[in-house]
Amino acid sequence: MERSNVKIKLWILWVLLIIFPPLGIVFLWYEKKYSKPMKLIVTIVIGLYFIGVLTLLGLPAK
């Protein structure tokens, strides 16, 4: 039963990384399943994705 809760939590994490990256990145770093190098790579990729989305929307990246 607890295994399914972990899957839901990871699923929510990845949805947040795509829909609202700043919050998803915070939750990613609290997740113990991934190694530090993996978290760093995902943070950089999602950060670049977020900057690209902001640029396409014409919003200032602050």
What is the CA angle 27-30-32, rounded to 5?
125
In a domain, 62, yes or no: no
pLDDT, tens digit, 9 for 90 and up, residues 3-55: 556 666 888 999 999 999 999 999 999 888 899 999 999 999 999 999 988 88
Which DSSP state fits 1? -
pLDDT, tens digit, 9 for 90 and up, residues 40-53: 999 999 999 999 88
Output the pTM of the full model. Answer: 0.77
pLDDT over 70 at 61, yes or no: no
Count structural domains, the chain: 1
Cα torsion for 35, 41, 44, 48, to the nearest 10°? -130
In a domain, 43, yes or no: yes
Domain that residue 13 falls in: 2-57
